[in-house]
Structure 1
Amino acid sequence: MSQVTYYTEAGLKKLQDELHQLEAIERPKISAQIAEARDKGDLSENAEYDAAKEAQGLLELKISKLKDLIANARVIDESQVDNSKVFILSKVTIKNLKNDMKITYTLVAESEANLKEGKISIDSPIGKGLLGKAVGAKVEIKTPGGVIPFEILEIAR
């Protein structure tokens, strides 16, 4: 059984759009490539046919994984989330206690993470270290660069 993952409405819509793209556009393209390669004759020595069949297998695997992800996805009702502690969709301002640098992250599902937009996965070392903590909490988070002490300055939505 797959694990439940939490998404924003926009994040789930993005997954659904990707699934639609794969099923409605990519799948027919690959079927056409297979038919075209089949029309060229002997399949035992047809590299185009083998490549198209392999691409079809990879596409079907991707479609299957996306369907499974969507089936186990839950949309988060932001109005029901407690702001006193860090949870998914929390916008958290933290201070690195080693260098006094302040940074703000929004904790999101892994598939929505985008560091350029300040969105980090709840499954990342920092995300895991912040989950469930309150404002003022000091946490030491083990990162690939070593253990870094942080203080939570603010939690918002």
Structure 2
Amino acid sequence: MSDKEVLLTPDGLKKLEEELENLKSVKRREVAERIKIAIGYGDISENSEYEDAKNEQAFIEGRIITLEKMLRNARIINNEEIDLETVSIGSTVIVEDVEFGDTMEYTIVGTAESDPGQNKISNESPVGKAMIGKKKGTIVEVSVPAGIIQYKIVDIKK
């Protein structure tokens, strides 16, 4: 991962900090205990519990490094920075599918926070990228595998 700026909302920052704290204080101890128990079983060359614990340990340490780098390069998007005239990171956007009339609500976030299941989409995703900088009433076109979807920006909120 490069040292590029990581854009986060205050909520996103809090979640990353909590995940980092949990990995450092809880998960590290749990996996160290699993390794100790697995070593107690004897020959580690053919010990699957030991292998699993070592793999989990490597994953945890890698995630800690990634989170620390993200937090070091974080720029927090505060509510005051969110413009209600144009879509930006931190905006909650209500859009209408021009063809079908379905209405959806998305919050535009940095890639580190994106969670499509929670309707938090990245500013670098096709839909997010198409909406950034646009105003209410604008129709944006998004290329998807099935073709092009047109969304009308109905409202922009904080």
The residue that corresponds to 1:66 in the other structure is 67
Worse overlay, 97-106 or 108-117: 108-117
Matched residue, 2:134: 133
What secondary structure does 2:133 align onto? Answer: coil
The match for 1:9 is: 10
Give 1:12 shift.
0.8
Structure-2 residue corresponding to 1:55? 56
Aligned equivalent of 2:36 = 35
Q: 1:122 — aligned with what?
A: 123
Where structure 1 has 5 or more consecutive residues not aligned to the other structure, the ranges are none
Aligned equivalents of 2:39, 2:104: Cα separation in 1: 57
CA distance 1:44–1:12, shift in 2 (3 Å): same
Looking at structure 1, the residues matched to 52 and 102 of structure 2 have their Cα atoms a distance apart, in angstroms, of: 51
Compute the TM-score of the two structures, normalised by the length of structure 1: 0.86
Deviation sequence 1:13-42 (CA, Å, 0-9, x none):
111111111110111111122222223333
Question: Which deviations, in whole Å up to 9, do the C-alpha atoms of 1:29-58 show, x marking residues without a partner?
Answer: 111222222233333333332222222112
Residue by residue over 1:90-137, the C-alpha shift from the partner in whole angstroms, topping out at 9 and shown as x without a partner, is 122222221233332221233433445443222222111101111222
Aligned residues: 157
* Deviation (angstroms), 1:69: 1.6
Residues 81-100 of structure 1: matches in 2 within 5 Å? 81-100=82-101
Partner of 2:24: 23
Unaligned 5+ segments in structure 2 are none
Q: Is the 8 A contact 2:91 2:157 kept in 1?
A: yes
Deviations 1:48-71 (A, max 9, x none): 322222221121112111212222
Distance in 2 between residues matched to 1:139 and 1:122, nearest whole Å: 14
Give the RMSD, CA atoms, in angstroms: 2.0
